[in-house]
Amino acid sequence: MNDAGRGVMAAVASWRDDVSGLLVTGGTSTAYTVTTNQGLPATPNDGQMIAVSFHTGNGATPTLQVDGGLAFPIQTAPGIALPTGTVTNTSYQLKFKSSASAWVLFGAGIAALAENVAAGSVINAGLANMAAWTIKLNNTNASAAPQDVTIDGLTAKTIPVGADEVPIWDVAGAAMKKATLANVAAAAVPLRGYLGGLTLSGGGSQTITIAAGEATSDDATTRMTLGAFTKTFSNWAVGSGNGGLDTGAIANNTWYHVYVIERIDTGVVDVLLSTSATAPTLPTNYTKQRRIGSIKTDAGPNIISFFQNGDTFLWSTMPALDVNTTLSSTAASATVQTPLGVRTEGIFNVEFTSGTGTLAWLLSSLDIADTAPGFGASPLGTFSVNLGTAASAIGAQARVWTNTSAQIRHRGNATDGASNIRLQTIGWVDPRGRFN
């Protein structure tokens, strides 16, 4: 072997010894020194690797000077200082990063840190005595060194408010940031069609009461939360107890639709009354709405008393008959006592007083095709009798979907002046946008 070969072997041996953990530091806990076998330049080359055993645990922001060159900081990642007490006399691998002008722990260095984590506790001096649910972070509102924060030991906040903050990962900015709970809630996609609470009550006056509850806006973008509220038929003004009418003045015998509304720039939620079932005149800056029910005035004009249970509305006092005529084979539309402007499932008490013969009476929605009822064959009537020569009366309850003009259809299988048909609205079922 010639001298050149021996030189290469010597260089390889020097590199081997410098990365095998045989190097031991000197100096202090904040200013380490070490001498390599290779003899590195004052500023090491990018990617230069060495493995050292620290003779003592590190202090704050330690540096490492190699072969009498420049002293560079020791970091756990580029730009991240090594926390006090992180290293022990275990061997650590370091790589020089020119972009950070620092020696960065990597590979076996990180593995050595992991070996200091014992079952159930952390025994590394820099992370000592960490209980369950403990994290290391800056627990102040100013620049400060990270501290152990035990989540179990933090003071519990029973009712968080919108201004409280939580950490989030900003995908676009690729960085940790903070956000208020209000903004997090606003960014969350609300459940389409949701409506809970917000039950209406009233009657005999011009004041409507709305129970506390929440609803998703009809454009499915905003969850609106309302406390217990009342509104009168004066012109709209913000706040409970004030006017709620969007335009005009209260009218006799008129349907009004009740809306929850919100201005998203301030988060204020209120209530509005309108004769429009789809396009109320919203107050300035209010952009979100959800219809939560409908009410009607009498000749007073006061609100006609009603009872609400979920989507079901019942008249407190039975109104006049909507149909009171004789059976006809010609289809006819009947206007019933349900809200105008929306489709609802009308609930009716029905009476069929028949003459003689085989007779049928069909109630149907105007949203489906008109057809004559059959007897013993499709389409069956809502009510059917086969009486021969004896007359009879049948009473029952029926449900039929209305159109937006509050109408349904009725038709007999025959025209019989001796057969009387009567229908009275007792209430309606209103999904109030749940399935839109």
What b-and-e string marks burial along 3-21, b requiring 16 or more CB atoms within 10 Å of the CB?
A: eeeeeeeeeeeeeebbbeb
Q: What is the mean pLDDT of residues 115-139?
A: 45
Residue 116 pLDDT exceeds 80: no
Strands of the sheet containing 213-216, edge to edge, are 195-197, 213-216, 223-226
For the ranges 100-109, 111-120, 124-133, 398-407, the one whose mean pLDDT is highest:
398-407
Alpha-carbon span 426 to 227, nearest angstrom: 30
Residue 111, pLDDT above cutoff 70: no
Half-sphere exposure in the Cβ direction for 171 (13 Å, CA):
0
Q: Using a cut of 0.85, tell me whether the model's pTM lies above it.
A: no
- pLDDT at residue 5 above 70? no
Task: Determine contact, residues 96/70, Cβ cutoff 8 Å.
Answer: no
Model confidence at 288, in pLDDT bands (50, 70, 90)?
very high
Task: Give me the CATH code for the 314-429 domain, please.
Answer: 2.60.120
* DSSP 8-state class, residue 40: -
Question: Where do the CATH 2.80.20.10 domains begin and end in the chain?
Answer: 196-304
pLDDT at 130 over 70: no
Residue pLDDT, tens place only, 298-343: 999 999 999 999 999 999 999 999 999 999 999 999 999 999 999 9
Report whether the peptide linkage leading into residue 301 is cis, meaning its omega lies within 30 degrees of zero. yes
Quickly name the fold that domain 196-304 has: Tail fiber receptor-binding protein (2.80.20)
> Stretch 364-374: mean pLDDT, rounded?
94
Pairing state of beta strands 407-412 and 358-364? Answer: antiparallel
CATH 2.60.120 location in the chain: 314-429
Determine the residue type at 241: G
